[in-house]
């Protein structure tokens, strides 16, 4: 009878151990349901992500300090845009398709006419890149751009990170993919450029609203006055012509000023004027001039979309630093209820789970070898007890 009781106890322990192990794997399901969705079942590399989440967060804080000290919001926005704005939706191959891949760091692309002056932006963020080697150029450019918008009073951008960098100048896109300021047919030109990226009229107009920040310098672009009453004293390097009076504040004043055109010291490019001349563009431009909240909503979505164009992400689902990009990544109860797991640990858990081919909707099958080992261990324990 004692032997039968021991056998039954052993069976129960084996069954419980197997269930517990399966429950452990299944417990990863609520971590990030969106992460595994539609992924193919294949061996997953456990290589490190393109950027380190902790370093991304620290770099963001350094960018905020840079913005406070240098008032460089406009040029950092432009840096991110010009890296991602080379994307061509008709080309599938990465990185030949262009987009947010860090190629703008190479001289051959920096020398494109549309990128005049962006070497200054690179020089500003170089110390941050040197400090955080675990952050790719592609991510740093987009992080700087989004942070600049937010710190200037704009909306929170639902960003994700993990962009992979190109490795050589030969992988830079050819010149001519970015929009020009004064084409013969401004509306047609805007559509030609932005439709190639996969953007629509609403997104074109919303993104144009970022001209509420910054100035145009004639020595760089050939457009604008050398200085105005709004720019002659800075902040930052004086000069240039701004689109708005408060050109370091992100709001909807760009649309109001373009519509009214009451101040000769404010810049209106042909592509700006087209927003109120083209019937389709005008619908959105009028809306944004009246409703800043609507502008902020559409702008945040369009900026996030632009920042992802052409990018190759590692991990494939990207890295979310905040709770505004897709579903919230919520760690299961692995922190004993006292504190939340660190971002680094969350990433490690995801990588390890994916490496063993885990999936939220289909837990791993039990390992019979492990079950045998458990059974042997349990039997050894039972036989060591007095009376067995």
Residue 267, both tokens:
């810049």
The CA-atom distances, in angstroms, between 74 and each of 113, 146, 354, 370 are 18, 11, 40, 59
Longest Cα separation, the chain: 101
DSSP character at residue 241: E
Assess whether 82 carries a catalytic annotation.
yes
What contacts 180, CB < 8 A, 6 or more positions away? 114, 189, 271
Residue 278 near residue 284, CB atoms below 8 Å? no
* Strand ranges in 240-291 using DSSP code E only, listed in sequence order: 241-242
Burial 213-223 (b: 16+ CB within 10 A, else e): bbbbbeebbee
What is the distance between the alpha carbons of residues 97 and 91, in angstroms, rounded to a whole number?
Answer: 5
Which residues face 163 on adjacent strands?
Answer: 313
| Active-site residue identified among 73, 82, 112, 189 | 82
The CA-atom distances, in angstroms, between 217 and each of 141, 209, 224, 226, 242 are 22, 18, 6, 7, 9
- Give catalytic residues, as residue numbers: 82
């Amino acid at each position: 009878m004692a032997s039968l009781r021991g056998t039954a106890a052993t069976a129960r322990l084996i069954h419980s151990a197997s269930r517990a192990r399966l429950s452990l794997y299944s417990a990863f399901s609520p971590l990030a349901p969106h992460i595994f969705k539609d992924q193919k079942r294949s061996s997953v590399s456990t290589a490190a992500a393109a950027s380190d989440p902790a370093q991304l967060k620290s770099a963001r804080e350094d960018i905020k300090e840079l913005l406070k000290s240098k008032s460089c919001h406009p040029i950092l926005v432009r840096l991110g845009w010009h890296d991602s704005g080379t994307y061509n939706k008709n080309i599938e191959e990465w990185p030949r398709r262009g987009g947010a891949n860090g190629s703008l760091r190479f001289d051959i692309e920096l020398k494109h006419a549309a990128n005049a002056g962006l070497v200054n932006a690179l020089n500003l963020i170089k110390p941050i890149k040197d400090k955080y080697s675990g952050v790719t150029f592609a991510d740093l450019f987009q992080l700087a751009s989004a942070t600049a918008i937010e710190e200037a009073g704009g909306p929170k951008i639902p960003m994700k990170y993990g962009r992979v960098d190109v490795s050589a100048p030969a992988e830079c896109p050819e010149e001519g993919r970015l929009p020009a300021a004064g084409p013969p047919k401004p509306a047609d030109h805007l559509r030609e450029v932005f439709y190639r990226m996969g953007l629509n009229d609403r997104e074109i107009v919303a993104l144009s609203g970022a001209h509420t920040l910054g100035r145009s310098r004639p020595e760089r672009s050939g457009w604008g006055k050398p200085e105005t009453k709004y720019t002659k004293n800075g902040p930052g390097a004086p000069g240039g012509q701004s689109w708005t009076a408060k050109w370091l504040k992100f709001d909807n004043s760009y649309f109001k000023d373009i519509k009214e055109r009451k101040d000769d010291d404010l810049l209106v490019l042909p592509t700006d004027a087209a927003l109120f001349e083209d019937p389709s563009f005008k619908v959105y431009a009028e809306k944004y001039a009246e409703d800043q909240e609507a502008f902020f909503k559409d702008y945040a979505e369009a900026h996030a979309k632009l920042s992802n164009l052409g990018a190759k992400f590692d991990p494939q689902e990207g890295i979310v630093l905040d709770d505004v990009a897709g579903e919230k990544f919520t760690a299961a109860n692995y922190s004993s209820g006292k504190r939340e797991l660190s971002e680094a640990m969350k990433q490690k858990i995801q990588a390890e789970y994916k490496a063993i081919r885990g999936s939220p909707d289909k837990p791993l099958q039990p390992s019979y070898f492990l079950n045998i080992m458990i059974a042997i261990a349990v039997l050894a324990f039972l036989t060591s007890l007095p009376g067995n």
